Structure 1
Amino acid sequence: MGDTRIWIGMSGGVDSSLAAALLAEQGLDCLGVTMVLGRGATDAAAAADAASVCEHLGIPHTTIDLSAEFKADVIDATATAYSLGQTPNPCVLCNASVKFGSLLDRARDAGALLATGHYARIVQTPEGAALARPADVSKDQTYFLYRLSSGDLLHVVFPLGEFTKTQVRAMASERGFAGKHGKESQDACFLGKGGYPELVARSHPEACVAGPIVDETGTVLGTHTGICRYTVGQRRGIGVASAEPLYVLRIDAAHNSVVVGPQQRLAVSRITASGVIWNHSEDSMRAGVMVRYNAGAIAATVVREGARLIAETDEPVLGVAPGQSIVCYNGDIVIGGGIIEEAS
């Protein structure tokens, strides 16, 4: 066991700290690694916290500068998606391109496995290694990790997959990490106080220009303050008075317009996705699908056609936003997914 080399991606928070502790206690050849992502003081604090944990555990620690990859594949890609009227998930982008892209590549080049504090499991199936929901389904992070292939999973370890968050906190306290309970990973960790609009304005100011809010017939109902401030399914902050609540139905970036209507017009049952990752031998099957994080799985028939995926849900689904991911499950096992292009 001691000959196994393993890198642990560490932020200094409770989850990655306990993951490192559990692996070090097995006598593995461990190295704590903190990514530098171009976030200034945030990166420095994470590196200092992780280094302190590693010193406590008696394992080495280092930092790896992935700021260029993070900017191109996460920050810039997120801003571009919003400028096109889409609603991307930055955590999906980061896991695919940075954590389990660039960082995993470097670990493999060093002859090491890569471990993180994600709540997920890796199981063996007739199709090979597969991603599966964790013991604590309330902390399930497989939606963010679905783009890992079976080949990737052979080089990845999720030490917390069999534990609940309550157990993790208790084990962390036993090992002296009690002070880190409040430090959780954040979505969109690169955003400033101005949120997504501020981010988009820097590189795509055209997406922050005012334009018409229209109904499905094209009738102008009001004026929006930039398409980057809206997402499909949104109700609050639309700024149009109406006898019944109005929701964002779609965003037309080409005409700089936001289309709104009653909630029932959000209902869709056919979802098309591109950039598909597929880890199953069958291209057509029954599955549970998630169209956003924590949305719950919906029964559907899914068909993969090359790099495209079509899902026909048994029941109508509300608020399916282009740019988000659709993730397919066979029970607890992730079988694939892709980036939503359209829904009807």
Structure 2
Amino acid sequence: LYRGEDPKKDQSYMLFALTQKQLSKTLFPLGNMDKTKVKEIARNNQLVSANSKESQDVCFICPPETTQSYLLSKFGEKNGEIIDYKTGKVLGIHKGAFNFTIGQRKGIGIAASEPLYVISTDPDENKIYVGFKDLLSSQEFDVENVNWQQQEYADMQEFSAMTKIRYNSAAKEAIIIKTGKNSLHVKLKEPQFAITPGQAAVFYDMNNEYVLCGGWIK
């Protein structure tokens, strides 16, 4: 599974969970083109998509609905506590933990000496924990339910890889240590911001050209 030609539109991070059997029956006809070329072909063939706008939100949510209004319609408004991550002190009230993600700064609504960020969330208890930005930097994390694209790496106890922790982040160098058949411990060369449980971590060869494996951050 190689990266797409256009780094801004590369979907390999999202496709890591495909098996080699699935990939063997899959074609990516746009993989060697950038978006400008694709738009040009669409215009030359008078396709409606030639003038379509970029999708910036969840694909099945259409304006005027927003992600927040969609979630509110599904889960309803439910007050919960905003808690200081370090002290455990209750700082305020929010309207639903589902409105917040780790690393989020906007929407907390509490004044402090420095901007507050969401450090962690507890959806079961409907609580969010906040603190200053320095609490969000880390270099190590664990990954589970790993899907191996390159089987030879599954047999290694340790290897180096370029690592992506979210779709729009740059891949960073890391040491990958196997802790189980389909579980890994990751040691990044440099600290990264807001490594988030539930997000995918995808590992590429050291030339950052193709996927070695990927899994879910614990």
TM-score bin, normalised by smaller chain: 0.7 to 0.9
**d(CA) in 1 for partners of 2:128 and 2:200?**
21
State which of 207, 213, 217 in structure 1 corresponds to 2:82.
213
**Aligned residue type for 1:249:** I
2:116–2:130 Cα contact (<8 Å) kept: yes
Whichever residue aligns with residue 338 of structure 1, its letter is G
Q: Within 5 A, what are the aligned runs for 1:29-48?
A: none
Deviates more, 1:271-280 or 1:223-232: 271-280
Asked if the contact 1:146/1:334 (under 8 Å) is kept, the reply is yes
Q: Which string of whole-angstrom CA distances, capped at 9 and with x for unpartnered residues, describes residues 156-202 of structure 1?
A: 0001111121122222223333x422325745222354534444445
- Following superposition, the deviation at residue 151 of structure 1 comes to 1.3
- Percent sequence identity is 33
Aligned counterpart in structure 2 of residue 321 of structure 1, from 196, 199, 204: 196
- How many residues get paired? 208
Pair 1:276 & 2:153 matched: no
RMSD: 1.9
- Report whether the alignment pairs 1:195 with 2:66: yes
Contact 1:325 1:338 in 2 (8 A): yes
Name the residue aligned to 1:335: 212
Residue segments in structure 1 that go unaligned for 5+ positions in a row: 1-130
**Which structure has the higher relative contact order (CA within 8 Å, separation 6+)?**
2
1:241-268 deviation digits (Å, cap 9, x = unpaired): 1011110000022432111111010011
Q: Cα gap change, 1:238/1:167 in structure 2, threshold over 3 Å: closer, same or farther?
A: same
Q: Distance in 1 between matches of 2:42 and 2:70?
A: 36
Give the 5 Å matches for 1:128-277.
131-177=1-47, 179-183=48-52, 186=55, 187-191=57-61, 193-201=64-72, 204-205=75-76, 208-216=77-85, 217-277=87-147
1:257–1:132 Cα change, 3 Å: same
Look up the match of 2:167: 293
Q: Which runs of 4+ in 1 moved over 6 A?
A: none
1:282-318 superposed Cα distances (whole Å, 9 cap, x missing partner): 2431111111111110111123422323211111111
* Mapped partners of 1:185, 1:133: distance in 2: 20
Contact 1:275 1:339 in 2 (8 A): yes
Structure 1 or 2: larger helix share?
1
Aligned counterpart, 1:100:
none
In the alignment, does 2:190 pair up with 1:309? no
Q: Work out the CA distance in 2 between the residues paired with 1:200 and 1:166.
A: 34
Superposed CA deviations along residues 124-164 of structure 1, whole A, max 9, x for unmatched, are: xxxxxxx1111111221111111111111100000111112
Letter in 1 for 2:98: C
Distance in 2 between residues matched to 1:224 and 1:252, nearest whole Å: 13
TM-score when normalising by structure 2: 0.87
The AA in structure 2 aligned to 1:195 is T
TM-score, normalised with respect to structure 1: 0.56
**1:268 and 1:316 in contact (8 A); partners too:** yes
Deviates more, 1:299-308 or 1:310-319: 299-308
Uncovered stretches (5+) of structure 2, i.e. residues with no partner: none
Larger radius of gyration: 1
- Distance verdict in 2 for CA 1:197–1:176, change over 3 Å: closer
Kindly indicate whether the alpha-carbon contact (under 8 Å) linking 1:300 and 1:312 is maintained by their aligned counterparts in 2.
yes
Written as runs of structure 1 = structure 2, the 5 A alignment for 1:60-99 is: none
Structure 1 range deviating more: 302-311 or 249-258? 302-311
